[in-house]
Structure 1
Amino acid sequence: MSAFESFPLGQPGFVNNILDRAAHLRTKDEKLFALESDPRTRAYVVHRDSLVVRKEGDASRALLTIDEALKFGANPGTIFLGLRDGVAVFGMGISQPAVEKLMNRDDVAVSELRGMAMQGLVPPNELSAIAMAKSMVNWHQRHSYCANCGQRTAMKEGGWKRECPGCKAEHFPRTDPVVIMLVTHGDKCLLGRAQRFLPGMYSCLAGFVEAAETIEDAVRREVFEEAGIRCTDVSYYMTQPWPYPSSLMIGCAARALNEDIVVDRTELEDARWFDRDEARLMITRKHPDGLAGPHPFAIAHHLLGRWVHGGGNGGK
């Protein structure tokens, strides 16, 4: 199955959650311990931006039994992600030394999640649960100590809270909001490229929402800061969880009020206007100059694709 088939328009990666989060079970320690011991229970094991998978011939299996996960060296602390058809699913981390021991094995692989998803090596309907595991494991690894008094905190409520035994402060996972927007002016759209992008790739502009800032203001500010374009008529399209490390991409469209681009070179390598026909060639990888749009895995592809097919600002 190609990436275009795996992520049809309006369905980027990480948006189709197959789990019942079953939040009512998070405070029931005895029930969670029992679920961990259930042979039907499964777990996703993540290491930084990678996923530990069981190799089965030419295929890979991301959902491991708890026993498999522990034998591979996963940390014993589990994070309750929810239920899939009544069966518990947990998230688990794994240390660098344990990962190194897996490198020469034929029955297991540690592969970068984004690459696996873009190549269709992970079922699209599992990506949301894996994103949850990745975000939560990363949060626990970065928040082991109390920000209030400095003592080591303890995992509580199935991994959805950390509690300080000293000052009793409670710490909860956070998600960082990011606006990502397609700005149009008549029959043209504004795309930029960062230095880290693959050669020839252009994408939508994006940036973090700041404190006490509305989504609309964040869109207008980021577009002006990065490209010198004033815009209006900001509208919402859809969101995409983005576990790098734990963001929520808020997809928007906006209409430009001017055309003269002034690129902030600390943010972008280049920014330019593309007409609808050129954008269509870019997202289908048929541009004669080798230019390309964002991968269907990312929400930016869907913002651009919707406009190319007549939707979004400027589509009427």
Structure 2
Amino acid sequence: MIAPGFTGSTLDRADPLRQDPEALAAAMGDWRAKLLVLNDFEPELDGEGRLVWTNLADAPEGSDLLLLGLDNGKPHFAALTPGMKPPAGRPMRMFGLLDRIAPGEAATYAAARSLLDWHTRHRFCANCATETHIYRAGWGRKCPNCHAEHFPRVDPVVIMIAEHAGRALLGRQPAWPAGRYSALAGFLEPGESIEEAVAREIMEEAGVRVTDVRYIASQPWPFPSSLMIACVGMAEDDALTIDKHELEDAIWVSREEVLRVLAGGEGAFLPPPPYAIAFTLLTEWANA
């Protein structure tokens, strides 16, 4: 299987260090410690598509340092700066950078971006509304009033294709580049299994009933903090009833056409980008 995008970070997440204030202070004082260079929430990349790092002395005044992990014993941090706010929507420049970023580097960036985004959105206690304090090296917040502890959340999302007679069901959203089709997707709802969510989402968006759902792979998606869970379900028939609130169009495509398009050839659709798990999902299905 090709590795899904945003996976493969080389950093040791160093959980014991997060829980040891003295060790964390020593890591912040380590002359080898590195700080991730970001332009707001966008990564800076060198000529080889690798993340750029600087020294902790370059952290803006008033920043909180969030421990990303260790690389060969060297601490690596991201800076949460005062007034930092995530951008609205998904800037196209950001996705251009993702086409350039080296394998594994995107995973480190994903952790940093999701963690920073979470802190900017969760400054206040959900239990009593008191402003919370950072602890556990940035991997938690604690309320000084009611002592509730809060931790970065991950939102599970199913992303899937329905299969029928050797063909895969793909959908299209109007905001995507012209001609692009991809797997259907949707958030899991409370009290729902992965398999149930796959079946519900395909039925809601395309009117297709599926059974025999099987898991393929997963991927962190840091916009802002989802876990994409890729699956395939077997469709009972190929009749489509498209929910126009969710999809602009949906089509059935053969294995042969998917393989040709993924290899860069012409076809009835443009594939998802390689860093998206939909690319991994389509590749695995087409080569099965």
TM-score normalised by the chain length of structure 1: 0.83
Q: Which of the numbers 279, 300, 304 marks the counterpart of 2:258? A: 279
Amino acid at match of 1:244: F
Q: Which of the numbers 253, 261, 268 marks the counterpart of 2:232? A: 253
- 2:144, 2:40 → 1: CA distance? 27
SS at 1:197's partner residue? coil
Amino acid at match of 2:51: A
Question: Kindly, what percent of the aligned residue pairs are identical?
Answer: 40
Contact 1:39 1:65 in 2 (8 A): no
Confirm or deny that 1:130 pairs with 2:119.
no
Q: Which of the numbers 167, 188, 198 marks the counterpart of 1:188? A: 167
Q: Can you give the 5+ residue segments of structure 2 that lack an aligned partner in the other structure?
A: 86-90
Deviation at 1:83, TM superposition (A): 0.9
- 1:278, 1:165 → 2: CA distance? 58
- 1:97, 1:180 → 2: CA distance? 31
1:268-294 Cα distance to aligned partner (Å, 9 max, x none) = 1101111122222322332255x2111
- 1:111, 1:180 → 2: CA distance? 22
Amino acid at match of 1:236: Y
Amino acid at match of 1:159: G
1:188-221 Cα distance to aligned partner (Å, 9 max, x none) = 1100011111110000011101111000000000
Deviation at 1:300, TM superposition (A): 0.5
- 2:54, 2:108 → 1: CA distance? 15
Confirm or deny that 1:114 pairs with 2:103.
no
Contact 2:41 2:113 in 1 (8 A): yes
Residue 294 of structure 1 is matched in structure 2 by 272
Confirm or deny that 1:64 pairs with 2:56.
no
Residue 154 of structure 2 is matched in structure 1 by 175
Residue 4 of structure 1 is matched in structure 2 by none
CA RMSD of aligned residues (A): 2.3
Confirm or deny that 1:147 pairs with 2:140.
no
- 1:82, 1:161 → 2: CA distance? 15
- 2:278, 2:11 → 1: CA distance? 25
Deviation at 1:117, TM superposition (A): 2.1
Deviation at 1:94, TM superposition (A): 4.3
- 1:307, 1:74 → 2: CA distance? 50
Deviation at 1:32, TM superposition (A): 1.3
- 1:235, 1:199 → 2: CA distance? 30
Deviation at 1:75, TM superposition (A): 5.6
Contact 1:202 1:292 in 2 (8 A): yes
- 2:57, 2:93 → 1: CA distance? 20
Matches within 5 A, 1:1-316: 9-46=1-38, 49-51=41-43, 53=44, 58=47, 62-67=51-56, 69-70=58-59, 73=60, 76-94=63-81, 112-118=93-99, 120=100, 122-288=101-267, 291-309=269-287, 311=288
Contact 1:50 1:111 in 2 (8 A): no
Deviation at 1:248, TM superposition (A): 0.5
1:229-260 Cα distance to aligned partner (Å, 9 max, x none) = 00011001111011110011111111101111
Deviation at 1:95, TM superposition (A): 6.0
Amino acid at match of 1:116: L
Count of aligned pairs between the two proteins: 283
Residue 6 of structure 1 is matched in structure 2 by none
SS at 2:64's partner residue? coil
Distance 1:140 1:166, change over 3 A: same
Deviation at 1:59, TM superposition (A): 5.7
SS at 1:33's partner residue? helix
SS at 1:124's partner residue? coil
Deviation at 1:96, TM superposition (A): 7.4
Distance 1:284 1:48, change over 3 A: farther
Deviation at 1:174, TM superposition (A): 0.6
Residue 3 of structure 1 is matched in structure 2 by none
